[in-house]
Structures are given as structure tokens and as C-alpha cells.
């Protein structure tokens, strides 16, 4: 039997590290050809090289996903290289500005939305154009548990992830008859370089994050990657507009 996404072409953003890298490797392992993208050229190229070393096929395309010409060129490069685009994991993002709402600077708020929301909008816009023309496709957006609950000290991040879910649900409805499915995966606290940097702000931050894990551990990037691969696969053929929490029941506590 082939893999879950055997023969498909997938675009993964934020592929240089963390969830994005794990997802790029997982998609390749399940039979997909991978277009990996990130601003981190060294990390993105290393992810593509790891796929090739394992016998898969991948190309790395650096891009600033908050710039429309760059996103348009990224999707075009995928088509030029592989002839089509079947799946996408719009995963790139940042923690962004941290602090109580009244203390935040507008520039920090806007930077967070640019990286976490504008990038997803632009990726979806150009992915959907391609997939609708094909009559098929699956998009997964990486939101967060912070997309369904409030998160003190992370107002811009929280707002951006709530908004990603709004984009996801709207796109799912708009494409319900087009053959394109759109879903979101909502990671909890996952052991990634981004979370490690955030926990490095102070011991109390790390203590609170770890105390909020009902299972007593952080998630692993590979656990989020598996959910994304399944959502993009034909096994999830009637799943669209969903917000899949992968957080060890953290939001349920």
C-alpha cells in the first residue's frame, strides 16, 4: 500500500524547523513531493536535503510570505517544478509581541498579524486559485489552541490565530463545491525552537506552560505533523472547515 498522500504535491511553509520541518518530512515519508518554504534559507535547504537523503523528492523555495509577489512566485515555482499543487500546510508564524494589551506598541501588533495572518491569507489566495482550477486540493492552516481561548500576555498572537480560524471556515464554505477542502490544525504547547525561545523569557513562563499540560508533557512536532498529513489525505475526504485541536486536552482542562 502507498502512503497517505502518495503521488501528491504539497507546499509546506515554515519548513526550516519545528512543526514545519516535521511536517515536510512526514509528507515525504507518506509519498508526497514537497515544496518547502521559509525565510531561514539554511534551515529550509537542510529540510529539503533531509527529504532527499531519505529517498524523497523536495525543493526549497525561500519566500517572505507576507509579500504577495513572493507568495505568487512560490506557488508558481511549485507548479513549474511538479506540474500541480494538491496540498498545502500554511504553517509559518511567530510568537510576536508579548505583554499586556495596554503596553503593546502598534508596530509589534502589526508585525505579528503580518507574519501570522496576512501570510496565511496570501498563501490561501494563490493556493486556492490553483486548486480550484484543478478541481481538487486540501489546505491546512496552522492555528493554535490560542485560537479558541484567551491567552494573557499574547494578545496579538491570540488575535491572529482566532482570525486564521475565521479565514479557514470561510474558505471551506466558499469551496464546498469546488473539490477543495480547507481545515486548521490547532497545536497546543509543542516542543519547538519557537516555544523554547518563548519559555526562555523567564522560569515562571516555562512553569506556567508546563503546568498547563494535563498529560504532564509537551507535544512533539511529529504529532502535529501526523494530524496535518491526515487532514490533507483522502482519508479525510468529508472533513472541511474543521478546527482540529492537537493539544493533549490542554484546552479542555
Residue 68 lies in a domain: yes
Residue 4 lies in a domain: no
Alpha carbon distance 124, 139 (integer Å): 8
Assess whether 52 carries a catalytic annotation: no
- CA 82 remoteness from chain centre: 21
Q: What is the pTM of this model?
A: 0.96
**Domains in the chain, number:** 1
Q: Which of 157, 171, 175, 186 is catalytic?
A: 157
Residue 50 lies in a domain: yes
Residue 251 lies in a domain: no
In this prediction, residue 205 carries a pLDDT of 85
In this prediction, residue 253 carries a pLDDT of 83
Residue 245: in which H helix or E strand, if any? strand 243-246
Residue 2 lies in a domain: no
Residue 35 belongs to domain spanning: 9-245
**pLDDT tens-digit profile of 3-44?**
999 999 999 999 999 999 999 999 999 999 999 999 999 999
In this prediction, residue 1 carries a pLDDT of 53
CATH of the domain at 61: 3.40.50.720
- In what order do the strands lie in the sheet containing 58-60? 58-60, 33-37, 9-13, 87-90, 137-142, 180-187, 243-246
Alpha carbon distance 184, 164 (integer Å): 8
Residue 110 lies in a domain: yes
Alpha carbon distance 238, 208 (integer Å): 37
Residue 170 lies in a domain: yes
Residue 31 lies in a domain: yes
**Residues of the chain whose pLDDT is less than 50?**
none
CB 172 within 8 A of CB 184: no
Amino acid at each position: 500500500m502507498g502512503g497517505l498522500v502518495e503521488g501528491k504535491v504539497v507546499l509546506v511553509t515554515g519548513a526550516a524547523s519545528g512543526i514545519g520541518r516535521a511536517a515536510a518530512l512526514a509528507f515525504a515519508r507518506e509519498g508526497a513531493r514537497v515544496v518547502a518554504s521559509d525565510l531561514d534559507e539554511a534551515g529550509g535547504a537542510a529540510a529539503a536535503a533531509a527529504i532527499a537523503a531519505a529517498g524523497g523528492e523536495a525543493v526549497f523555495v525561500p519566500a517572505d510570505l507576507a509579500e504577495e509577489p513572493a507568495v505568487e512566485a512560490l506557488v508558481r515555482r511549485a507548479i513549474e517544478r511538479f506540474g500541480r499543487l494538491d496540498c498545502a500546510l500554511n504553517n509559518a508564524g511567530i510568537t510576536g509581541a508579548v505583554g499586556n494589551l495596554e503596553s503593546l506598541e502598534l508596530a509589534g501588533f502589526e508585525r505579528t498579524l503580518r507574519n501570522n495572518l496576512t501570510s496565511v491569507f496570501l498563501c490561501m489566495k494563490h493556493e486556492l486559485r490553483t486548486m480550484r482550477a484543478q478541481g481538487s486540493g486540501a489546505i491546512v492552516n496552522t492555528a493554535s489552541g490560542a485560537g479558541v481561548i484567551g491567552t494573557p500576555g499574547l494578545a496579538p498572537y491570540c488575535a491572529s490565530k482566532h482570525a486564521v480560524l475565521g479565514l479557514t471556515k470561510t474558505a471551506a464554505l466558499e469551496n464546498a463545491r469546488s473539490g477543495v477542502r480547507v481545515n486548521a490544525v490547532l497545536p497546543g504547547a509543542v516542543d519547538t525552537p519557537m516555544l523554547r525561545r518563548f519559555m526562555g523569557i523567564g522560569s515562571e513562563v516555562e512553569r506556567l506552560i508546563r503546568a498547563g499540560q494535563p498529560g504532564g508533557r509537551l507535544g512533539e512536532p511529529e504529532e502535529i505533523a501526523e494530524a496535518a498529513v491526515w487532514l490533507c489525505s483522502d482519508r479525510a475526504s468529508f472533513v472541511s472547515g474543521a478546527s482540529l485541536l492537537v493539544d493533549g486536552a490542554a484546552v479542555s482542562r
